[in-house]
Amino acid sequence: MRLMTVAELNNYIKEKLEGDLFLNNIWLKGEISNFKFHYSGHMYFTLKDAQATIKCVMFRSRCSNLKFLPENGMGVVARGRVGVYERDGQYQLYIEEMQPDGIGTLYIAFQQLKEKLEKEGLFNQELKKKIPRLPKRVAVVTSPTGAAVRDIITVLHRRCPHIEILLIPVAVQGENAPPEIARAIEMVNAYGQADVIIVGRGGGSLEELWAFNTEIVARSIFASSIPVVSAVGHETDFTIADFVADLRAPTPSAAAELVAPNYLELVQRFAELQERLVLGINFYLQKNRNRLEVCMKSRAMSRPMDLIQSLVQKLDYTVVRLEQAMRGFHREKGNRFRVACAGLNNLNPLATLERGYAVCRDKVTGSPKTTISQFRVGETVEIILRDGLVDCTVERTEEGNS
């Protein structure tokens, strides 16, 4: 066997412990002893029960999330992982979160369901539906006898008397509460006539509010096509329903405040808008009335014929100039035409014939004969004169100028 050092043994044990999935996330119940709050911000203590103890450490980053100050003798429920402090060769619990004992089991269930639903995206802010600004009908899912329903109805009627209230009575605690609440939300969606749903109850202990921490209620709220406002307990109470709902209200009364617009404020706002509209219309009419008066006083409107006559005169002057331009154009083009004709006439071969000359060409091809070498004795040629042509037979050719 290989000889190991103490550090190697401790490291080996640490890897074994930290590789155990069960020991990486466990809940532990016990009593605090030997508590020490170090100046570094870390907490060191021991958790014990009647038979055993375990060393614990909670680092400063986790301590900042505690909502209570631990002390010796306090019973707690803690979640963490088991690891080894290699220097001392002892295993200990590295605590991630901790709560006072007494709500331990429910709190663990709450945290586990919260983590599960959050991973599934039921708390996603991007999926939250907007609460309508002017709802016509509000469905209230709560106990028909509690103070919460009276507070909701009172606030809704006070703020906006025209809102219709659809009350769906359900149990809000006990075993029957979760399925009743879920069915009520489904019924409102099937009915399809409500603009928003308020789901909630008054304050109470964690056990009394537990119906709103159940998966069936959370999924029914998430599946609702109608926006849901969660109004469970008091301001400090948070339930799973609060995280899933489209809007969380700190109290049932606050839910009614958030859902119902203030009728008097609406009336005042409408009056202000009406006044602004009337002022705007009057200003618009007056501005255009002034523009109309200016237009009516203009020369174009007071003496419209002056403008027409001026335009007629301008048209006549334009016509005269156009006629003069056309005559000048015709003269220029006529002169250029006559000059061109004279030039062409000088080049006209017929003009040469007029002066006593003749053109001789081949009888067959019609091509002109200009040199003595093109003539053969005995052939017939044509002689073109000023007033006709003559057929001639070549009897003799002779070179020279005579």
Provide the whole-model pTM.
Answer: 0.51
Name the residue among 258, 170, 250 with its Cα closest to residue 217: 170
Q: Is residue 331 part of a domain?
A: no
Name, in order, each residue with C-beta under 8 angstroms of 208's C-beta and a sequence gap of 6 or more.
173
Domain boundary among 261, 279, 305: 261
Using one digit for the tens of pLDDT, what is the confidence trace for 32-68?
999 999 889 899 999 998 899 999 999 999 888 887 7
Q: Is residue 267 part of a domain?
A: no
Using one digit for the tens of pLDDT, what is the confidence trace for 93-146?
999 998 887 655 677 778 888 889 999 999 999 999 999 988 999 999 999 988
The CATH number of residue 58's host domain is: 2.40.50.140
Sheet holding 388-393, edge to edge: 359-362, 380-385, 388-393
Q: Is residue 323 part of a domain?
A: no
Using one digit for the tens of pLDDT, what is the confidence trace for 385-397?
878 888 888 888 8
54: which strand partners? 47
**Structural domain tally of the chain?**
3
Which domain covers residue 245, as residue numbers? 134-261
| 139 and 257 within one domain | yes
| 249 and 143 within one domain | yes
- Tell me if 247 sits within 8 A of 199, measured CB to CB: no
The whole-angstrom separation of Cα 55 and Cα 48 is 9
